[in-house]
Amino acid sequence: MQEHDMSWVRTEMTLAQTAPRSQVGPGAWIRRSLFSTPTDSVMTILAALVVAWALPQILNWLFFSAIWSGADRTACLTTEQGGQLPAGWSGACWPFVTSRFGQFMFGRYPLEERWRPILTGIIFVALIVPLMIPRAPFKRLNAILFFVVFPFIAFFLLVGGAFGLRFVETPLWGGLLVTLVISYVGIVTSLPIGILLALGRRSKMPAVKLLSVVFIETVRGVPLVVVLFMASFMLPLFVPPGVTFDKLLRALIGVALFSSAYMAEVIRGGLQAIPKGQYEGADSLGLGYWQKMGLIVMPQALTLVIPGIVNSFISLFKDTTLVLIISMFDLLGVVKQNISGDPTWATPQTAKTGYVFAAAVFWIFCFGMSRYSQYMERRLDTGHKR
Amino acid sequence: MAQEVYHEAEPAKASLLYDPKVRGIAFQVILIALLVLGIWWIVDNTIVNLRRSNISTGFGFLRGRSGFDISDRMIDYGSDSSYGRALVVGILNTAVVAISGIITATIVGFLVGVGRLSNNWLIRKLAMVYVEVFRNIPPLLVILFWYQGVLALLPNVRDSFALPFGSFLNNRGFYFPRFVWGDGSWLILAGLLAGILLSWYVARRAYARQMATGQRFPVFWTSLALIVGMPLLGYFLGGLPVSMDFPQKGTFNLTGGTNVKPEFLSLFLALSFYTASFIAEIVRAGIVGVPKGQTEAYSALGLRSGQGLRLVVIPQAMRIIIPPLTSQYLNLTKNSSLAVAIGYPDLYAIGGTILNQTGQAIEVVVIFGIVYLGISIFTSVLMNWFNTKMALKER
């Protein structure tokens, strides 16, 4: 009989070896994520070529060949066009933006009164920042101030005509001021109207349901331009002769109606996702309709659709540019007006520069909103999702 | 006898005021009354206002002579044509923008959406940059950027850029060769139709054979050969009836060929690339929404990744993709009304011109409503049909 006194089980740990060179490190990363298959390699090379061709041109245009100072159009013209720059030059003409910056922000708002929109802006930021930070205290008070008190302050500050402030009629407003006013009013009015419409659409009362459906589907079926068109051409027909509507007010009504129809559909999605048991639970507690909706259903439904709500805010913000078509001057309108109607800065590069600037402003706002909504979504995620 | 006692006890009569049914009816009656009053007030005011400005109502104005010209048109139209015909020109232009935009946006959107999920780091990042840049900028701004910032700066006719295939690009738009269809061209069309019908038949037979015997038939290559070959056959049988009309460079103008105007180009580029960024996100969400188990299952069945994508993942992803895709198509169609900002004569722009000339605000808005709602309903119905076709077939 043979004895095996050799242990086949290792009794001590081997020392950990470093991972093979082919698996870790920058080389492996490059191979794995850029050249894993022949097709991949071809695509990487093509994409890299495109980037190498486009990126320097874009950066050059934006920064390196751009003109940063100047008094008028001659600063941004090539020798052929009557300026100093070498032939074939192409770059941004930033002094156009800096010299018109005040207009881009406030339109034709009187110079000596511009502290009023600035003050409004400061109050706005001071109220919205704590509202957006989840840990900041006094949420309820803050929300009341932002949604109920602030509109009145802003109205008196911007319009004036009371408390010793000069009256500034709305045709003088313009630029980012108008963009923000329309977006704010659209957002603040569309949420409650949208909630009512969504509830109406799910109501058991046939007349209420029919009216909500007809309103929502009609408004959603036509472009915002048509709604604005109706608001600006037909509203004056609907009121008794002699009553005139402010043009900005007409645009605001159009935008509010339009966005509330979209908001209603977003909120309806949230309502549909609430299980029937929640409604029945509320009923069995003896809550009335508004208590049931306000205390049980809506808080859950709105939390569910926060991404959708913010998405409609973002599209509303982008849609404010459409007031240009009923000849009002929001940020894009003022930029366009300065590009096509002002000979002081008429150069081939002006249009591109102006629109790139406006695009950057819009982009920052929209991107900020979408990132904030992603953050809120993660925060409010109750773990019910798959 | 407890039951009887129970029966005898009358339920406590609550006041009618607290009966939800009564309340509901009362509320609806009040709502309808208010609505009727409001409408009556509006109609009354409108009639007074219209009478004051001497505008007659009705659609009779559509037969009147329009007196304005339209540069971009699909059908014959001159300043002597009627308002009605001008509106038809506008509707057709809206349709052209919408259809070409939808096709381009879908292709670009699918490519970018798949690119966002690529294993390739560079492609993934490029797709992300594309999506984040384009969907956060208002489409109207992009339209104006193309129109005033890029296309207006192109050289004039004399220095136009020559592009391959005899096409030209200058500040009056894009010029490319046009086919001139001679006699006997109908044979080509007939060939194409025959090719499509034959490949459909082949595909059906091949499927039946594969089901019965398990043998496969190269359907794709046969269909390709049929669809390309039959029109070619028609082309030769018809005696080479097609010739090309190349744009010719003159001193002041390009003659011949087809001209795509800068207005259309800006609108088309801006709308399709804007919508593509949304479609890309929808496609990505759709593909991510297919559970990972499906991928593992098709590998376990021995399908290659291409086959697996085509036969297993995409059909399931389509179910998630189609409903939001429909609304993007509708958005693009509605956004085509932004054409008015750069003077492309779509329905909205022409309607606006007619309104300015005749003052028929209500009629024009009604026409807008009917056409845009009609397009919306038509697209929804079409996509719903496609959706039911793609939907999960359950027992």
For residue B120, the model assigns a pLDDT of: 85
Quickly state the pLDDT bin for A382 (edges 50, 70, 90). low
Report the percent of chain A where pLDDT is more than 70.
97
| Residues B369, A222: C-beta atoms closer than 8 Å | yes
Reported as a single tens digit per residue, the pLDDT across A295-314 is 988 888 888 888 888 888 88
CA distance B240 to chain A (A): 39
**Residue A348: its chain B contacts at CB < 8 A?**
153
Higher pLDDT, B156 or A349: A349
Reported as a single tens digit per residue, the pLDDT across A202-254 is 888 888 888 888 888 888 888 888 888 888 877 877 877 777 778 888 888 88
CA distance B4 to chain A (A): 28
Put simply, whether A46 touches B (Cβ < 8 Å) is no
Neighbours of B166 (CB within 10 A): 16
**Residue B340: its chain A contacts at CB < 8 A?**
225, 325
SS (H, E, C) chain A: CCCCCCCCCCCCCCCCCCCCCCCCHHHHHHHHHHCCCHHHHHHHHHHHHHHHHHHHHHHHHHHHCCECCCCCHHHHCECCCCCCECCCCCCCEHHHHHHCHHHHHHECCCHHHCHHHHHHHHHHHHHHHHHHCCCCCCHHHHHHHHHHHHHHHHHHHHHCCCCCCCCCCHHHECHHHHHHHHHHHHHHHHHHHHHHHHHHHCCCCHHHHHHHHHHHHHHHHCCHHHHHHHHHHCHHHHCCCCCCCCHHHHHHHHHHHHHHHHHHHHHHHHHHCCCHHHHHHHHHCCCCHHHHHHHHHHHHHHHHCHHHHHHHHHHHHHHHHHHHHHCCCEHHHHHHHHHHHCHHHCCCCHHHHHHHHHHHHHHHHHHHHHHHHHHHHHHHCCCCCC
| Residues B140, A47: C-beta atoms closer than 8 Å | no
Nearest to A223 among B149, B361, B372 (CB): B372
Average pLDDT of the segment spanning A287-293: 87
Name residues 134-153 of chain A within 8 A of B (Cβ). Answer: none
Reported as a single tens digit per residue, the pLDDT across A45-100 is 998 999 999 899 888 888 888 888 877 777 778 777 777 777 778 888 888 888 88
**Residue B348: its chain A contacts at CB < 8 A?**
223, 225-226, 229
pLDDT tens, N- to C-terminus, chain B (395 residues): 444 545 555 556 667 777 777 888 888 888 889 989 988 988 888 888 777 777 677 777 777 777 777 777 777 777 777 888 888 888 888 888 889 999 999 999 999 998 888 888 888 999 999 999 998 999 999 999 888 888 877 777 777 777 777 777 777 778 777 777 777 777 888 888 888 999 899 889 888 888 888 888 888 888 888 888 888 888 887 777 777 777 777 666 777 777 788 888 889 999 999 999 999 999 988 888 888 888 899 999 998 877 888 888 888 888 888 888 888 888 898 888 888 888 888 888 888 888 888 877 788 888 888 888 888 888 778 877 877 777 666 55
Quickly state the pLDDT bin for A3 (edges 50, 70, 90). low
CA distance A192 to chain B (A): 18
- Residue A114 predicted with pLDDT over 50: yes
- Residue A283 predicted with pLDDT over 50: yes
| Residues B377, A40: C-beta atoms closer than 8 Å | no
Name residues 186-215 of chain A within 8 A of B (Cβ). Answer: 204-208, 211
Choose the mutation target among B27, B137, B278 for the interface with A, i.e. most A CBs under 10 Å: B137
Nearest to A208 among B28, B145, B149 (CB): B28
Choose the mutation target among B120, B153, B363, B368 for the interface with A, i.e. most A CBs under 10 Å: B120
Contact between residue A134 and residue A379 where contact means Cβ atoms under 8 Å apart: yes
Reported as a single tens digit per residue, the pLDDT across B142-174 is 999 888 888 877 777 777 777 777 777 777 778
| Contact pairs from chain A to chain B, CB under 8 Å | 153
Q: Give, in degrees to the nearest 5, the angle at Cα A280 between A275 and A285.
A: 130
Q: For B119, which residue in chain A has the nearest alpha carbon?
A: A33
Put simply, whether A233 touches B (Cβ < 8 Å) is yes
- Residue A4 predicted with pLDDT over 70: no
Quickly state the pLDDT bin for A101 (edges 50, 70, 90). confident
| Residues B136, A240: C-beta atoms closer than 8 Å | no
For residue B395, the model assigns a pLDDT of: 53
For residue B108, the model assigns a pLDDT of: 94
Put simply, whether A303 touches B (Cβ < 8 Å) is no
For residue A386, the model assigns a pLDDT of: 39
- Residue A170 predicted with pLDDT over 90: no
Whole-prediction pTM value?
0.83
**Residue A40: its chain B contacts at CB < 8 A?**
119-120
Domain boundaries in chain A? Answer: 169-380
**Residue B338: its chain A contacts at CB < 8 A?**
225, 322, 325
Fold of A169-380: MetI-like fold (1.10.3720)
For residue B272, the model assigns a pLDDT of: 92
Quickly state the pLDDT bin for A128 (edges 50, 70, 90). confident
Put simply, whether A370 touches B (Cβ < 8 Å) is yes
Q: What radius of gyration do chain A's Cα atoms show?
A: 29
For residue B177, the model assigns a pLDDT of: 77
| Residues B348, A226: C-beta atoms closer than 8 Å | yes
What are B142's two structure tokens?
């992009």
What is the rounded end-to-end Cα distance, in angstroms, of chain B?
51
For residue B2, the model assigns a pLDDT of: 46
For residue A299, the model assigns a pLDDT of: 86
